[in-house]
Amino acid sequence: MAANVMEIYGSKVFNEHVMKERLPSATYKSLEKTLHKGAPLDIEVANVVASVMKRWAMELGATHYTHWFQPLTGITSEKHDGFVSPVGDGTAIMEFNGKELVRGEPDASSFPSGGLRATCEARGYTAWDPTSFAFVKDDVLCIPTAFVSYTGEALDKKTPLLRSMNALSNQAIRVLKLFGKDVDYVSTTVGPEQEYFLIKKEDYEARQDLILTGRTLFGAPSAKGQELEEHYFGVIRPEVSAFMKELDEELWKLGVPAKTKHNEVAPCQHELAPIFDTTNVAIDHNLLTMEMMKKLAPKYGLVCLQHEKPFEGVNGSGKHNNWSMSTTHENLLDPGDTPMENLQFLVFLAAVIKAVDEYADLLRTSVATPGNDHRLGANEAPPAIISIFVGEELEAVIDAIASDSPYAGPVKMKMDLGVDVLPKFSKDTTDRNRTSPFAFTGNKFEFRMPGSAENLSDCNTILNTAVAKELKGYADELEKADDFTSAAIALVKRTIRDHRRVIFNGNGYTAEWEEEAAKRGLPNKKNTPAALPALIEPKNIALMEDFGVLTKVEMESRYEVEMEHYSKIINIEALTMLEMARKQLLPAVNAYMSEVANTAASKLAVSESLSVRSETKALTRLSADADAMSDAVDELQAAVDAAKALSDESAKAVAFHDDVLPKMDALRAAADDAETICGEDYWPLPSYSKMLYYV
Ligand code: ADP
Ligand code: MG
């Protein structure tokens, strides 16, 4: 039975509709100021909100509440506290007050902090983010919060994100004022497209690598890959379709505007995209979506894989970050219909171009994870080089502006801007290039580098802050100008001339682009340990400090945490491989060799004239593979031991990348070759063909 979407939508969310209906009007008014204007919330108001919220949550079956936050691991954390409070006469009441709503104190000593928080002062605290609505999940009232230390340092992903959103808003407001517009707030909007795999639960459970690391560390390619391109937008199989339906319903109840779902390029790969929202809300929703996907899949005999590269040889999963800036009335990246609207669009566009060019190295850090290293530059996702795609039409406009030559487009020029009215950029002309990491798609940018497992807070924090910086520069300059329009035009021209190098409309997957990008001086950091040091570059620390988003100490702590995380992940992968090779794969190869050798011996015992050519061939190749595996096991173990012995986190991460990964590759190559020869009944792991095609 189809759910009544309108009825269930947001039914588990303490949204503005519920607030308006249930809160006393004075309370609602002051909360509204907090929601829309960022005014601080006083404790009287919080007390009323908490009591109403508690009653509402209890009606939905909630018995506990939790401050729901995002520590530096990127995933969400929750600790459930009961509403229950005994009253001495053997009975209990259900309690929840304003203090508990606005502030929590999880014992957080075991979250990564990169040395920010000495264990003696381990108690950070969580603070309510009222702009992201509370919701009920699993009988728990979840209150979205930020997580900070007692001395005020951000211990999470949300705090800097909220700071960056305010930074951008403050500067965008100044620029809009120059265009004669008086606005309270400019929000940044995000629509994340989430890719994921669904495989059979029984296959997942038969593979230690999937269980421990989320990806296959061994596995010979299937005879059939994704070359037939039949899966993309193909018919969705029944159990997947049933899963998607329930997922949509559960998300709608939580107020997540899940909108589109389809099959992706790789077999067993799918995508879900919601309608865009304010950045912090969109990210909270994305995290809820990821959690709900994992939770629901087993009901349908499936497991949801969100790793960036679960299978070699077929595409991995990404998470496109569609991004724009808007007021309550207009999308600032929409070209508009009049010359003045066009000028405003070009000013904001120029700020984004300049921001991305100047802080490409920093933006690159936000998508640097061990999982994403498998995608970037592997001809399935953009390269590690950040460039901007603007499409042919807009590029012609930009070039005309930069070169002072008339724009040869469909409209005659009037203003000195080079164009009369900019054409509306249709999706057709702006969305063709899938190889670009940062593409203008008509009225928003699509940042395509993030991996599927990523928390999008980091990239949006950086993007917002970098754009805030450029807008600030523009506002400072234009506020002093005598003639605003000509000054704004000059500024757009100058920006485009200075940052033309970051614009590239060609095929980002080619080797020529890598060479060309090097000539243009664009950074190209190919892996996580190489990319992350940009976090502690003085220019990048200065950016974050200038806008109060992150301090030097916070940036350094993030660098430590990320480098350490890299080493930990590769270490787990290497140890998993070692265990699988020693306990499962080498024994399997040996058992099969023994069977083949016995066959050969038995045949020869019957008659010396019987051929044992096929047995000899198989044994020769398997024996070589087994030796190679055994040597690779020893070498991998030695490389891991050596990397682990390093005390400096940076040196350790580099060693895991430079020394451990190649040994993992060698072990896999030998094992994958053995898999192709070894009898099916002997090989202990479900094959790629079985996992991806026997569905
Ligand atoms: P696709 O890229 O798959 O063709 P769309 O372009 O329609 O799909 O949308 C992709 C995502 O971009 C959706 O989540 C959509 O809501 C989001 N999006 C659309 N407009 C904006 C905007 N102004 N700001 C942020 N995200 C947006
Ligand atoms: Mg898209």
Site to substitute for ligand 1 among 168, 322, 448, most atoms within 8 A of C-beta: 322
The per-residue pLDDT for 484 is 93
Q: What confidence tens digit (pLDDT) does each residue in 511-556 have?
A: 999 999 999 999 999 999 999 999 999 999 999 999 999 999 999 9
* Distance of CA 274 from the midpoint of ligand 2 (Å): 11
Q: What does the alpha-carbon distance between residue 421 and residue 237 come to, in Å, rounded to a whole number?
A: 47
Beta carbon of 274 within 6 Å of any ligand 1 atom: yes
Going by pLDDT thresholds of 50, 70 and 90, the confidence category of residue 684 is very high
The number of beta carbons lying within 10 Å of the beta carbon of residue 671 is: 30
Q: At residue 689, what are phi and psi to the nearest 5 degrees?
A: -60, -45
The per-residue pLDDT for 237 is 87
Mean pLDDT over each residue of the chain, to the nearest integer: 91
Q: Which ligand is nearest to the CA of 261?
A: 1
The per-residue pLDDT for 117 is 56
The per-residue pLDDT for 383 is 87
The per-residue pLDDT for 413 is 36
The per-residue pLDDT for 335 is 87
Beta carbon of 444 within 6 Å of any ligand 1 atom: yes
Beta carbon of 276 within 6 Å of any ligand 1 atom: yes
Q: What does the alpha-carbon distance between residue 218 and residue 209 come to, in Å, rounded to a whole number?
A: 8
Least confident of 166-175, 394-403, 634-643: 394-403
The number of beta carbons lying within 10 Å of the beta carbon of residue 110 is: 10
Q: How far is CA 407 from CA 34, 227, 340, 395, 493, in A?
A: 46, 42, 17, 10, 14
The per-residue pLDDT for 412 is 35
Please determine, for residue 234, whether its predicted confidence score (pLDDT) is greater than 60. yes
Q: What confidence tens digit (pLDDT) does each residue in 130-186 have?
A: 889 999 999 999 999 999 888 888 889 999 999 999 999 999 999 999 999 999 999
Give the 3-state secondary structure of residue 601. helix
Domain boundaries, the chain: 5-151, 158-186+327-549, 192-317, 564-693
Arithmetic mean of pLDDT, 360-367? 98
Q: At residue 267, what are phi and psi to the nearest 5 degrees?
A: -60, 140
Write the residue with the smallest CA distance to atom 13 of ligand 1. Answer: 191
The per-residue pLDDT for 1 is 46
Beta strands at 438-440 and 388-389: parallel, antiparallel or unpaired: parallel
Topology at the third CATH level for domain 192-317: Creatine Kinase; Chain A, domain 2 (3.30.590)
Beta carbon of 273 within 6 Å of any ligand 1 atom: yes
Arithmetic mean of pLDDT, 654-678? 98
Going by pLDDT thresholds of 50, 70 and 90, the confidence category of residue 402 is confident
Q: What confidence tens digit (pLDDT) does each residue in 407-445 have?
A: 544 333 344 454 555 666 665 565 667 789 999 998 999
Going by pLDDT thresholds of 50, 70 and 90, the confidence category of residue 315 is very high
Beta carbon of 189 within 6 Å of any ligand 1 atom: yes
* Distance of CA 426 from the midpoint of ligand 1 (Å): 14
The per-residue pLDDT for 69 is 92
The per-residue pLDDT for 405 is 66
Q: Given this structure, which CATH class describes domain 5-151? A: alpha beta
Q: At residue 133, what are phi and psi to the nearest 5 degrees?
A: -65, 145
CATH code of domain 564-693: 1.20.120.1560
